[in-house]
Each structure stands twice: as structure tokens, then as C-alpha cells.
Structure 1
Amino acid sequence: MANPIHTDPNSLVEYGARRVIVTITAVICALLQLIDTTIVNVALPTMQGNLGASLTEITWVITAYAIANVILMPMTSWLSHQFGRRNYFAVSIMLFTIASWLCANAGSIEEMIIFRFIQGIGGGALLVTSQTIITESYPPEKRPMAQVIYVLGVIIGPTIGPALGGYIVDNFHWSYIFYINIPIGIIATLLTLQFVKSPHYSQKSRLRDIDWLGIFLLIVSVGSLQFILEKGQEADWFESSLITSLSVICVFGFYFFIWRELTCKKPIVNLRVLNNRNLSVGCVFAFVLGFGLFGSTFIIPLYTQSIMRWTALQAGMLMMPSTIFTAIMMPFVGQLMQRGVSTRLLVSIGMLIFFIYSLMAYKILTPDTGSSSFFWILVIRGVGLGFLSVPITTMALSTLSGSQIGEGAALSGMMRQLGGSFGVAIISTYLTRDIQAHRNDLISHLSTDNSMLQQRVQMLTRSFQGKGMAPNLAYNTTLKLLDGMVNTQSTILSYMDIFLIVGIMFLVCIPFVIIFIRESGTLQDTAHLVGE
């Protein structure tokens, strides 16, 4: 008897070489978007000098891209329906590619910020649409393995971005960070036009039926939130009138956006799809996953560069063991899911492993911690991400069908992105304030009555005098050295606190995983839905 899915002309499921090509195209596009999220970070100092920008201005190169990304993500499903998925995906790749060329040739910081925003608009569609294409190209029983392929790109992108960026900056001009996107973008566009299908359920809205108010409220609310997360610490949060004003706008914007989307007949973002329990629970845990993934990707290179004085390339390469072991674990976890192993169990194991990783990082941090000490904890991180990412991503879309898959992918993708933004914002803020608190605490113990301290000062002063320094200079050099040691120690203590807090957050999540993740309505229900 013929396979009804195989013979259905409206089916988006692909087979053989065609499925391989579609999958590779989608994964490459997802990687382009994610790599460009982090690859620019290490080039900022060089770009700052070449473009004559201030520190505040150059950070807008990151902020502009992030804001455009997070605004476009929830609208991706609607835009796919308006223009056809293949056409919208191809135009997004072309826009991303053209903007990459413009960024590489930017002559001023103003041009760079504008071009990065345009690049972010193109990139905003790539991640979500890639997930939708991959999901619908595989039959239901093979979708866990399809998510393995997609999530591997999600994990690899942020990790290799800094390492690749560091290598390019060290050996070539910073513009090659953008030039490398051009040949890949051209090939991906041609493959998309040739092999990617548009779903039969896509429906265009007439101009008068378009939810213009919803679009406006989405741009205002999500754009304000991303700006607050990107610039809050730099502006000292609510000490800034701009951040305070945007926070008020953000709250009211989200309130009216949700009201609008729930009452509009043809909403720009279909929030009703969150009535699907698996998707709503999956979005919450996608936020937690984004917090842990992007937060730890941010904190470890930052530690190695600020405390251990590593280069950006060295810091980026340090993350490779984690990525490799995540890649090793994902097919294994995908097979377990296809064999019916409990999603609740797999996610709980992943949360526990991530807690162990954080606890071990908390234990090993010292001024002398070397790369060999980081290796095994990063291996554990990779194993934990393998157990977390595939089940969470698969569960979110597992009971959706038709247009709901794209709508669900857009919402879960946005939540993962926002989780990462919240993670980086909270961690950077906590570090800044906790370092000062630890410094004040350490200084309070350095009283002039402390005999051991006085002996240490005298010993160091004599040592510097022995090297030919005048007594006053030797004494001042000793004080500067001690001040640097206090700064280093307070910074290490703050990083230890961060690792412990993130670990406890994942440990606390385990009871919620057990309570809220249900085992019914996963893979078997997906097969039933598509079979219908």
C-alpha cells in the first residue's frame, strides 16, 4: 500500500537527496544568523578605531542587529503566508547577504549601524523559518532527529562565532567577518529557490485586513524590551530616564499587543496557538535554555579574557569541547526520544547535569585555573545541553500541524532569543555590582592594624627597592599591586557567585519539569495529527 504522505501533492515532507539538500540549506541559513550574532563581538575594538566611533557608538553594531532580529522573529510565520515561504526565505537570505556586503564596506559608524539593522531584518527570518522547513520536511516519526540537526546549528553558531571572529581579526581585516557571508548567501538563495516548497495553507491578507496596529505594538514593545536589555547596564538601568521611559512603554506596549492579537480576526502573531500546552511549556523552557546557553557562552570567554588574559581566539576555542560533546549527544538523545523515552526524564537529566557543570565551575575558579581544568566541565556542559535542547525544541512543536508549526517555531525562537538577552543582561549587571560588593568586603579586612598585611607590604616594598626603585616609588607600586590583587580576587568571587546562581536556577527548574511536562501528546500524537 502506498504511503499517503509520500503521494500527497500538498505534503511538505521530502525524501532522498532532496531532503538532504533542503536540510543543509536550512541549517546553513540558521548558522549564518547565529554566527553573526556573536562573531562581531571580538571585532568591536578594531572596528571602533577604523570607523572613528566611541565605545557607546560601537556597541550599537550589536544592539541594532539584535533589535531587528527579535522584532522580525514573531512576524515570520505571517510574512511567510503573505509572500510564500520559499519567496520570503529567499528574499530574507538575499537581504542578509546584501547587508553583509554593505557592512563590510561601511565608511562610518552611522552607516554600519543602519546596515547591521538591515542585516538583522534579513536574519530575523532565517532561524525560525529554517526550523519550520526542517520540521515539515521530515515525517512525524523522524522529527526528533530533524530537531537534532536544527538544534545542532543553534548550539554551534553562538559557540564558533567568537573563535571564527577572533581568527579573522587576528589574520585578516575585520571586513572579512561580513564578506564570508556573501558566497554562502548566494548559494543558499539558489538552493532555496530550487528546492524549498511553500505550504498550500499560506493565505495572503488584503491590504485593509492587515493588522497594522498589531505590527506597530509589536515593534514598540519587543523593540523597547530588547533595547532595555542591551543598554540597561550601560545606562545604569532605572537611573536613566530613557530606560525608565522605555520600560513603561514596554509594559503598556505588551499589554495592548496581547489584547490586540487575542481580539483581532487576522492577527500578525497568532497568540491563540499558545493554548497548545506543549508549545506554551516548551516556550517557557526555551527561555530557560536560552538563558543557560547564551549566558554561559558569554561568561566563560569573558572570564578567560579578563582574568586569564587570553585572546579572543583562545577564549573561543576553549568552548569547542562543549560543542563537540553536544554534537555527540544529540543523535543519542534523538534516538532515545524516537524509542519513547520520557521527555520529562531527559529534560530533568539535562537540568541536573547543567547544575553539576555550574557547581564544578564554581569550585575550580582561581587566578591560576588553566584550560585543562575547564576542559571537563565544558564537556559536562555539552552533555547537559544535548539532553536539554533536543527534547525542549521537539516538545514545543510536537503536537502542532499545518500553519501552527511556523507560528509555534516563531514564538519558541523568540523566547529562546529573549532568554539569551535576559541572561546576558542579568549576568553583566550582577557581575558589575557584585564585584564592587566583594571589593568593599575585602578592603574592609585590610586594616592598618593587620600585622600580616604590614609584613606583606614591607616585603614587597623591599623587593621593588632591590630592583632599583626609589623608596616612595616602591611603596606606591606595592599598593597598586595589592589593589590589583583585590580587584582580581573580587572579580573571581563574583564569577563564582554567577555560576552558583545559574546552577541553582537549573536545579530549581527540575520540579517544574516534572509537574508541567506531560508525556501524552508528544511524538505519537504528532504522527496521528499528520496522519489525519
Structure 2
Amino acid sequence: METGARKWIIVITVVLCALLELIDTSIVNVALTQMMGNLSATLSEVSWVIASYAIANVIVVPMTGFLSEQFGRRNYFGFSVILFTLASIACGQSTNIWELVAFRFIQGVGGGALMATSQSILIDTFPPKQLALGQALFGMGVIIGPTIGPTLGGYIVDNYDWPWIFYVNVPVGILATIFTFLFIKDPESIANAIPRPLRQLDWAGIFLLILGVGSLQFVLEKGESEDWFESGMIVLFTLFSVVGIIGFIWRELTAKNPIVDLRVLTRSRNLALGAILSFVLGFGLFASVFIFPIFTQRILGFTAAQTGYLLLPGALLSGFMMPVIGKALQAGVPQKYMLPFGFGIFFLFTFWMSQKITGSAGENDFYWPLMLRGLGLALLFLPVTTMSLQGLRGKDGAQAAGLTGMLRQLGGSFGVAIVGTYLERNIAYNRVALLPNISLYDPETQQRIQAYAQNFMSKGFTMEQAKLQAYKVLDFALMKEASLLTYAQTFTMLGLFFLACIPMLILIKRVHNAGPIDLNAH
């Protein structure tokens, strides 16, 4: 355990690195249009800038426990920071789209370690009784990062040029590298571990992990744009993911020295449940961050910066509440009682949002619902994390952090993919459902068309042109109403999903802060 100034330097270093990694998952979203113009890329090509980073991330995250043991956690973490920083510079220097995609993949390889390894470092930096406080500080980065990414990206793109969304990583990366090698030490279980010879590594496990999880992430990232299972490529990669994941699970449960020790899940019921809840948390966190900007920018005409500023107060509230909730957990408030409040508050947020979605909504309408979202996420993230990791140290802590991190990210990918598909398809469905309400024989509809036509004729259009424009305006109004209805339904469905998760909380096993979980107990 670390004490004094050294302890807090380590905390600042790893939290900043985790924050950087998460900001980079969303900061590029608002710069894609500028990248397309500068690099002469199509929308399909530029989407790989996001997909390549996510695929690399989700492959590396579960392997961080093994890689830390093999190379030393400090060395692996420091190397990952350097790789992430150098790849950021290379991304900014890219002269064509495929250079940028390649360097984003490398950046994702480095970034994958920044999340899971940061978490395992904090586990060993704080004593068991202060686990909640350490994870509270880590949680600030997890919640705030995806939210401020679009805000920061929007500001940079509006005032500078797209390469600067990568260059901003460099000073933090340099500082983090220096602090890593000066202050972070390996725990005894890792420092005394003997690296395995290359021939003894779990190469089959590595291959199956890349095949299964990498293919699944590819399907989730590209499925909507390729029309899902209408595409032969998506069907092929779905088969790869099924075969790879089933093979990976079998291999890791039977191998003598697995690259990802899945057996830790069988030894701790709370970790197994926490892994599922991490998936749920990632689903809600990323899906809600994904849907809200689309609604405000497509329907209300907000800029990316305006949307980011709206999301920021709720994210800051989450960050502020993390230490408060950490103190409550440290004082003995059980996660089993805290989590239902978090799920309930998140449901209230989604229900409130479904009521606020109108064509005349303004910025003030979303302030308090988004603050409620921030509170709900804080009440979910920290209890889930401490429940999953409580009592796990060294190698087991690193394995658990990697598994929960991977599932949280996969949950986010599933959330974005499902919500994106639901939006696109249900807008069309709701448009068809609303059509019977508009009849050319209806007097009110006729009056509306006539009023639109008169308006266009007053601007110099002929009668025929004015009537055509009037029909277009009516069709636009219909599409807008269908969209509003779909966004409201999406928030409602998201809330019901969270409510449905509450019954599984009865499986949580109470573990007192005074001591670690006995991983040999059955």
C-alpha cells in the first residue's frame, strides 16, 4: 500500500490515463466530417477511425492481467502510455484515411491497457477498507470521459483543426510516462512472477480471443451501416464471433496457464454478477450518451458544442458524487441496497426524458433530467465496481479488472448498435403508422396544405410549385413527428431494460469491508 504524496501522484497519473482513453473513444465523433473533407474519405471509410480503435480496445482489455504479469505491471502500463502517446502524434500526422485507421488501431492497443491496468493499480494502492474511495476516483474518469469527449472535440474542431484532437493527448502522456516509472511499483505477486517462455504462452487462447471478441466488436460497429444480416460479411463475422467466443471460453477454463483466467468468475459469485452488471452499466452509459446528441442535433438543430455543454453538468455531478458514495460504502452501506436506487433513478431519468422530447424543447428542458442521469450512474458504477473487485489483489485483481472492463465496453457497443438500429427502423415504422392521420380529404389537412401553398406563392412560386413545396413541408412535419415518437420510445425502452435488471440484485453476497473475499470458498 502507498501513503502520502506518492499515493496521490499515482492516483492522479492513472485516473488521467483512464480519462484520456475514454475521451478518445468519443472525441473523434464530431470531427468525422472534417476528416472526410481533408483526407478525401467516404463516410464508410471514415467510420473505420472509430471502429478500429474500439476493436483494438476490446481485444487488449481482457489480456491486461496476463500482460502485466508477463512483463511487469509498471513496465506494461508505462509502455502502453508511450504507445498511446506516439500513436496520437501519428494520427495527427496522417495524410490519408487508411494511415489514420492504422494508427488509431495502434492507439487502441495502447489505450486498452490504460483502463483495466489503471483500475488494478488503484486496487493495490489503497488498502481493502479504502477500496471504495480508490474506485470512486477511477469512476470519475469512466463517467466523465465519454461525456466530455464530444464537448472537447467540438471546441477543438470549431477553433483549430482535427489533428489537434490527437495532439492534446501528448503533454498528458509525457507527464504520465514520467510519473509511471518514478512512482508506480509492482505488487509482490507480480514482481515475483516468473515470465513464461514464449512457447508456453496460451497462443490458442490469444487467437480465439482475437477471433471471437474482435469479430463481435466488428459486427456491432459495422452492422447497422451494412444492413446487418442482409450482408454476407456481417453473417461471416458473426459466425467467427460465435466460434471464437465458445472456443475461447472452453480453452480458458481448461488451459493450465490461460491468458485470461475465467476461473476467477467461478470462485467469486459477486465478481460473476458484477461482470453482468458491468455490461448493463456500459449499455446504459454509452447508449444514453449516443442517443441524446443525435436527438438534439438532428431534431432540435443544436451544435455539437451545445450538446456537450448540456451533458457536462450531469457528468460533473457523477464525479462529485463518487467520493460521497465511496464514503457511504466504506461506512458499511451494502451495495445490495444502493444498487436498486441507482437503477430506479436511471429509470426515472429515461421516463422524464421521454416526456421532454418535443419539437419545441430547449436547453433548459434537459438540465434536470441529465443531472438525474449523473446521479443514477454514480449510484450504479461504484457499487458494481467495488462488489466485483472487493478482496481481489494482485493477479486476481488484474484479471477481474480486465474482464469487467471488457464487458463494460462490449455493453456500450451493444447499446449503441441496438439503439442505432431501433432508431432507424422505428422511425420508418412510426411514419407508416402516422400516415392514416393525414388524409387529403380531411378539411384540416387541406387547410394546412393551402396555407403552406399560399406562403410559397407569396415568395414567387407558381401554383404548381407552391403545392409541391407544401406537400414536402407536410412530409417533413410527418417525419419529424415520427422521429420524436421514436426517440421517446427509445428512452422508455432503455428505462424498462434497467428496471428488468433489479431482480438479479438478490444474488449479491454481502462481503464486509474488514477483510478480503476468500477465493477458495465454494
> The TM-score by the shorter chain falls in which range?
over 0.9
Deviations, residues 3-44 of structure 1 (Å, cap 9, x unaligned):
xxxxxxxxxx10000000000000011011000000000000
Partner of 2:104: 116
Q: CA deviation at 1:449?
A: 2.0
Show structure 1 runs of 5+ residues with no match.
Answer: 1-12
2-structure distance, mates of 1:406, 1:355 = 32
Distance 1:435 1:522, change over 3 A: farther
* Partner-residue secondary structure (3-state), 1:39: helix
Amino acid of the residue matched to residue 440 of structure 1?
A: V
Partner of 1:252: 243
Q: Does 1:416 align with 2:408?
A: yes
2-structure distance, mates of 1:327, 1:251 = 37
Aligned mate of 2:60, from 72, 77, 92: 72
Deviation larger for 83-92 or 470-479: 470-479
Kept in 1, the 8 Å contact 2:124–2:187? The answer is: no
Q: Does 1:377 align with 2:365?
A: no
Deviations, residues 116-169 of structure 1 (Å, cap 9, x unaligned):
000000101000000011111001111101111000100010000000000000
Partner of 1:269: 260
Deviations, residues 417-443 of structure 1 (Å, cap 9, x unaligned):
000000000000000000000111112
Deviations, residues 104-127 of structure 1 (Å, cap 9, x unaligned):
000001100100000000101000
Aligned mate of 2:223, from 221, 232, 238: 232
* Partner-residue secondary structure (3-state), 2:332: coil
Q: CA deviation at 1:335?
A: 1.3
Partner of 2:515: 525
2-structure distance, mates of 1:26, 1:235 = 38
2-structure distance, mates of 1:417, 1:431 = 21
Amino acid of the residue matched to residue 263 of structure 1?
A: T
Aligned mate of 1:127, from 110, 115, 120: 115
Aligned mate of 1:28, from 16, 38, 43: 16
Partner of 2:205: 214
1-structure distance, mates of 2:364, 2:7 = 41
Partner of 2:488: 496
Partner of 2:168: 180
Identity of aligned residues (%): 49
Kept in 2, the 8 Å contact 1:73–1:413? The answer is: yes
Kept in 2, the 8 Å contact 1:395–1:522? The answer is: no
Report the TM-score when normalising by structure 1.
0.95
Deviations, residues 301-346 of structure 1 (Å, cap 9, x unaligned):
1111111111111111110121122122222211111111121111
Kept in 1, the 8 Å contact 2:392–2:517? The answer is: no
Partner of 1:8: none
Q: Does 1:340 align with 2:303?
A: no
Deviations, residues 275-309 of structure 1 (Å, cap 9, x unaligned):
11111111111111101111111111111111111
2-structure distance, mates of 1:187, 1:120 = 19
Partner of 2:47: 59
Q: CA deviation at 1:175?
A: 0.5
Kept in 2, the 8 Å contact 1:141–1:527? The answer is: no
What is the count of residue pairs matched by the alignment?
515
Kept in 1, the 8 Å contact 2:46–2:97? The answer is: yes
Amino acid of the residue matched to residue 212 of structure 1?
A: W
2-structure distance, mates of 1:377, 1:68 = 34
2-structure distance, mates of 1:523, 1:470 = 78
Q: CA deviation at 1:518?
A: 2.2
Partner of 2:32: 44
Kept in 2, the 8 Å contact 1:399–1:525? The answer is: yes
* Partner-residue secondary structure (3-state), 1:360: helix
Partner of 2:83: 95
1-structure distance, mates of 2:39, 2:512 = 51
Deviation larger for 256-265 or 441-450: 441-450
Partner of 1:7: none
Aligned mate of 1:349, from 335, 341, 346: 341
Partner of 1:406: 398
Q: How do residues 117-516 of structure 1 correspond to structure 2 at under 5 angstroms?
A: 117-202=105-190, 203=193, 204-275=195-266, 276-513=268-505, 515-516=506-507
Query: What's the C-alpha RMSD, in Å, of the aligned pairs?
Result: 1.1
Amino acid of the residue matched to residue 388 of structure 2?
A: A
Q: CA deviation at 1:522?
A: 4.5
Kept in 2, the 8 Å contact 1:140–1:527? The answer is: no
* Partner-residue secondary structure (3-state), 2:188: coil
Show structure 2 runs of 5+ residues with no match.
Answer: none
2-structure distance, mates of 1:55, 1:528 = 51
Distance 1:174 1:118, change over 3 A: same
1-structure distance, mates of 2:114, 2:436 = 52
2-structure distance, mates of 1:523, 1:39 = 38
Kept in 2, the 8 Å contact 1:398–1:522? The answer is: no
2-structure distance, mates of 1:508, 1:111 = 44
2-structure distance, mates of 1:48, 1:433 = 26
Kept in 2, the 8 Å contact 1:140–1:526? The answer is: yes
2-structure distance, mates of 1:522, 1:477 = 69
Distance 1:152 1:425, change over 3 A: same
* Partner-residue secondary structure (3-state), 1:447: coil
Kept in 2, the 8 Å contact 1:278–1:399? The answer is: no
Q: CA deviation at 1:397?
A: 0.2
2-structure distance, mates of 1:518, 1:66 = 33
* Partner-residue secondary structure (3-state), 2:516: helix
Q: CA deviation at 1:528?
A: 8.4
Deviations, residues 261-288 of structure 1 (Å, cap 9, x unaligned):
1111000100001011111111111111
Q: CA deviation at 1:400?
A: 1.6
Partner of 2:73: 85
The ranges of structure 1 where at least 4 consecutive aligned residues each deviate by more than 6 angstroms after the TM superposition are none
Kept in 2, the 8 Å contact 1:29–1:130? The answer is: yes
Q: CA deviation at 1:527?
A: 8.3
2-structure distance, mates of 1:20, 1:259 = 41
Kept in 1, the 8 Å contact 2:391–2:518? The answer is: no
2-structure distance, mates of 1:296, 1:462 = 42
